[in-house]
Chains A and B, each alone.
Chain A
Amino acid sequence: MAIRHRSVAVALPAPARPARWPSARTRETLGGIGLLAPTVLLLLGLVLYPFFYAIWLAFSDKTVGSPGQFVGLRNFVYVLRWPQFSTAVWNTVVFTVSAVAIKLVLGMAVALVLNQQIRGRNFFRAFLLLPWAMPAFVVYLVWRWLYDPLSGLINYALIDLGLIASPIPFLSDRSTAMISVIVAHVWRNFPFYAISFLAGMQTISQELYDAAQVDGASRVQQFRHVTLPGLYHVIGVVVLLTTIWTANAFEPVYLLTGGGPSDATMVYTMLVYVMGMMNLRLGEAAAVSTLFLPLLIALVLAVTILLQRKANA
């Protein structure tokens, strides 16, 4: 093992000693690579290989148990002609854009409140973080039960308060299914925005606020000209990062509606699952995710560059 070699600190003046092989520099390289090797193997086997394998699958007629032949663009033609695909694209966009927008506003509001001098701030911060600390699948099971038309709390409370006359089938009505899924998803994920923004706000110097106050800036102006500019980077990273995660969310749809009613909540991850795991058509399933790849890679590269720039700054 390379790591057993004794190495000397490169920065120090080397004591006079007979030249030995391997040289300090070689040992440095070997040591570094030795430590990194398990990670590189994992990334090659579990990320890079599946990544290209998925692209190959999209060009094959592979099913579970058969080797699969190259079929050119057949899967793509099939998928693109298929009405369910365009429905899934549209639903994914609607879900992602509205969920990210609501989480952004709500997360900012929560962060602003928690950044004030309130009594029991640590308790409230921990409490408002709870949805995010809970397992996502638990959250969606709870929401499914909250939405239940027969015995769910929401319908019961709304009837009790006299706001509605008969129960609303939130998850099985085309007009309410998507918004219900979004609400559950927002409930689980807004704390990530809130704590990220809160962490960002706490790095903004109090002197900036004092100076703004001396200049007679109102609360709103302070937010607009001090808080927001100080948070630009955090907002950029969080929005990009969670756009990727939201667009690829699977659990809310799978656990709440399964993509229904009649595809009203069919997002692309659910479509891949239905194609690949229920219909066992791996080729078409891979074609669906491959079609989303260019957009996803663009987003991933953007956020990678943003994070990297900050790391090197």
Chain B
Amino acid sequence: MREPLSIRATTYALLALFVFMVAVPLFWMVTTALKTNKDLYEDFTYLPRHPTLQHFVRVIERDGLLTNIWNSFAVASVTTAVTVVVSAFAAFSIVRYKYRGREWIGRFILFKYVLPTAMLFVSLYAIVVALGLGNTLKSLMLTYLSFTVPFCTWMLMGYFRSIPAELEEHAMVDGCTKIGALFRILLPLSAPGIVASAIFSFTLAWNEFLLALVFTSDQTTMTVPIKLSMMVVGDQYIWGQLMAGAVLATVPITILYFLGQRFVVQGLAAGSVKG
């Protein structure tokens, strides 16, 4: 059915407004990264007059951002690998096994998913220092599990619940073990959920700021967010490099996000909103 003209006009006007609102900061980030310093500070232009990649070259060569990108990548990959395995086991156990107390663990996992890291960072810092892990990437790989595992377990619990247990029961009648049924039946069937939880934990780890800021203090152990935020206070005229760094930090994660968007939206629906 066609909408009345007034409704359609309002819809498109609002849509244009929202698109503009979202586009302006993105435009500013990308154009800044491509502008010469002259275009940035002396003779303002909206569009770069002489597009240049010099800021990208400088942020990589002079500021050594590749080290930090590698750090972020290492932390996010290890965190994700451990998270997916541990959460899949935990969700499988809570959803498919019957023993006393599992509802309480399920509730606690949800409680932690909601509880913000800001509540815990002071004591986590004291613990990390006491373990001798201060200023290491290991401290991040370890502590990031405290939010990725509850989040992904909760999401996978939703996924596993949506798949009928009869399929696994049939397999077990045919001689498959319960754990075998997890690997042969449940995991392949919940592949979208697994992909979504991997994307989520990678994104959460890649973007994490507070713990990385508190735990790491060396150029060589900093992750990208910390490195870039340190550059703000250093030099005054570094916005070209900063925005080039921002683009470099954004592109991989955004590509990942959109490749997995279908899974992510499904995962959100299964895990958090619809329950």
> Which positions in A face B, CB cutoff 8 Å?
3, 6-12, 28-29, 31-36, 38-40, 42-43, 46-47, 49-51, 53-54, 57, 62, 64, 109-110, 113, 116-118, 124, 126-131, 133-139, 141-146, 148, 150-151, 153, 156, 187, 195-196, 199-200, 203, 219, 234, 237-238, 241, 244-245, 248, 250-251, 254-255, 269, 272-273, 276-277, 282, 285-286, 289, 292-293, 296, 300-301, 303-304, 307-308, 310-311, 313
Contact = CB atoms under 8 A, between A and B. Distances in A.
Q: Which 10 A-B pairs have the closest CB atoms?
A: A32-B97, A310-B275, A248-B116, A46-B146, A35-B93, A39-B90, A54-B123, A311-B275, A137-B225, A50-B123
Contact of B3 (A29, A54, A116, A245): A116
B93 A32 contact: yes
Given A54-B123, A145-B239, A36 B102 contact: yes
B25 A139 contact: yes
A153 B28 contact: yes
Give the most central of B3, B25, B93, B210: most A CB within 10 Å.
B25
Contact of B32 (A6, A145, A199, A292): A145
B250 A9 contact: no
Contacts of B112: 43, 47
Contacts of B258: 126, 133
A187 B25 CA distance: 9
Given A131-B22, A199-B273, A38 B86 contact: yes
Q: How large is the interface on B (under 10, 10 to 19, 20 to 34, 35 or more residues)?
A: 35 or more
Give the most central of A29, A36, A219, A285: most B CB within 10 Å.
A36
A130 B253 CA distance: 11
Contacts of A286: 122-123
Contacts of B124: 46, 50
Interface of B: 3, 7-8, 11-12, 14-15, 18-19, 21-22, 24-26, 28-29, 32, 40-41, 44, 86-87, 89-90, 92-94, 97-100, 102, 105, 107-112, 114-127, 129, 142-143, 145-146, 149-150, 153, 157-158, 161, 169, 172-173, 177-179, 206-207, 209-210, 213-214, 225, 228-229, 232, 239, 242-243, 246, 249-250, 253-254, 257-258, 261, 265, 268-269, 272-275
Given A7-B177, A138-B246, A199-B265, A146 B18 contact: no
Contacts of A238: 273
A64 B99 contact: no
23 contacts: A9-B173, A32-B102, A33-B99, A35-B93, A38-B89, A42-B145, A43-B109, A46-B143, A47-B115, A116-B11, A137-B209, A139-B25, A142-B25, A142-B29, A142-B246, A145-B28, A195-B268, A199-B274, A200-B273, A241-B272, A244-B116, A282-B125, A310-B274
